[in-house]
Amino acid sequence: EDLVQQMRDDLYDGLKDEVEEGTNILLARGWSPYDVLTQALVEGMRIVGEDFRDGILFVPEVLLSANAMKSGMNILRPLLAESGAPQQGKLVIGTVKGDIHDIGKNLVGMMMEGAGFDVIDIGINNPVENYLAAIEEHKPDILGMSALLTTTMPYMKVVIDAMKERGIRNDCFVLVGGAPLNEDFGNAVGADAYCRDAAITVEMAKDFMK
Ligand code: B1M
């Protein structure tokens, strides 16, 4: 559809108002929030990522794209959350120390809320102490960690090792995700599962709750 292509272009150009408008129009045309999210916003950001990697886009531009994406996500968030799904369990989720990427984490949080999970988002750049404190305070069924950089993803092991040291590793399931990760990495750091995207995270989380 033309409008979807337009939205990807607007996201690329960091045009927040246009992305919001496009999101609303697609919804008004009967698109599901999930389809708007994946086909327009996530796909748009994938293209941004390619050109960022290739040195065509730079940090300031990508920041604008990220902000445009977030404003679109803000429209979709309540719609995704109001699914009326039965209560599933509790998730604490945060991006690891040194890493400020939060779009993927936010998206996972939104979808998990929609699936009936109680989501406590501890934000970005979390040192191990933050994770431990959140586990102690909220007693989640699942801990989710996000990392988008090859330099920050090893920190997940620091957190899991600290949980082991405290004897709380088995108090919750640990799910990890982020673009540079893979299943081998998830196994290597001692996570219960690696989650490729938000939809898979929801499936995995539901399975663990059975
Ligand atoms: Co950054 N950045 N960035 N960046 N950035 C990447 C990650 C990069 C791959 C771009 C590239 O070169 N192609 C590259 C990393 C290279 C590497 O490590 N090998 C990179 C770099 C280098 C950097 C900087 C170092 C650039 C610089 O300063 N020179 C810098 C680092 C800052 C820091 O964190 N310390 C930086 C900064 C930024 C911005 C601030 C400009 C911005 C972030 C804005 C924000 O998040 N608020 C940004 C962005 C937007 C990106 C790209 C373009 C897009 C990331 C994104 O939002 N994707 C990214 C390119 C790419 O990923 N290919 C890139 C959309 C999102 C929906 O996908 O986050 O993968 P994703 O999440 C998915 C899954 O991965 C999974 O589910 C999500 C939804 O399906 N998932 C989880 C993620 N977390 C999960 C947790 C779970 C489960 C599943 O827990 C259970």
Q: Which pLDDT tens digit goes with each residue over 149-200?
A: 999 999 999 999 999 999 999 999 999 999 999 999 999 999 999 999 999 9
pLDDT at 1 over 80: no
With beta carbons less than 8 A apart as the criterion, state whether 91 and 118 touch.
Answer: yes
Residue whose CA is closest, atom 57 of ligand 1?
103
Q: Is 201 in the pocket of ligand 1 (CB under 6 A)?
A: yes
* Owner of token pair 């989650």: 195
Q: Is 45 in the pocket of ligand 1 (CB under 6 A)?
A: yes
Identify residue 85 by its one-letter amino acid code: A
Phi then psi dihedrals of residue 182, to 5 deg: -150, 180
Q: In the 3-class helix/strand/coil scheme, how is the chain assigned residue by residue?
A: CHHHHHHHHHHHCCCHHHHHHHHHHHHHCCCCHHHHHHHHHHHHHHHHHHHHHCCCCCHHHHHHHHHHHHHHHHHHHHHHHCCCCCCCEEEEEEEECCCCCCHHHHHHHHHHHHCCEEEEECCCCECHHHHHHHHHHHCCCEEEEECCCCCCCCHHHHHHHHHHHCCCHHHCEEEEECCCCCHHHHHHHCCCEEECCHHHHHHHHHHHHC
pLDDT in tens, 9-58: 999 999 999 999 999 999 999 999 999 999 999 999 999 999 999 999 99
Interface pTM, i.e. ipTM: 0.99
Question: Whose CA is closest to atom 29 on ligand 1?
Answer: 59
Any ligand 1 atom below 6 A from CB of 191: no
Rounded to 10°, the helix 59-81/2-12 angle is 130
Whole-number Å distance, alpha carbon 126 to ligand 1 midpoint, is 16
52 ligand 1 Cβ < 6 A: yes
d(CA 98, CA 207): 31
83 lines ligand 1 (CB under 6 A): no
Residue nearest atom 15 of ligand 1, based on CA coordinates: 149
Question: CB of 112 closer than 6 A to ligand 1?
Answer: no
Q: Which atom of ligand 1 is nearest to the CA of 145?
A: 90
Per residue in 101-150, pLDDT (tens digit) is 999 999 999 999 999 999 999 999 999 999 999 999 999 999 999 999 99
Query: Which residue has its alpha carbon closest to ligand 1 atom 78?
Result: 104
pLDDT-derived band of residue 81, with 50, 70 and 90 as boundaries? confident
Report the nearest-CA residue for atom 5 of ligand 1: 49
Site to probe by mutation for ligand 1, drawn from 148, 159, 209 as the one with most ligand atoms within 8 Å of Cβ, is 148
Distance CA 146, CA 153 (A): 8
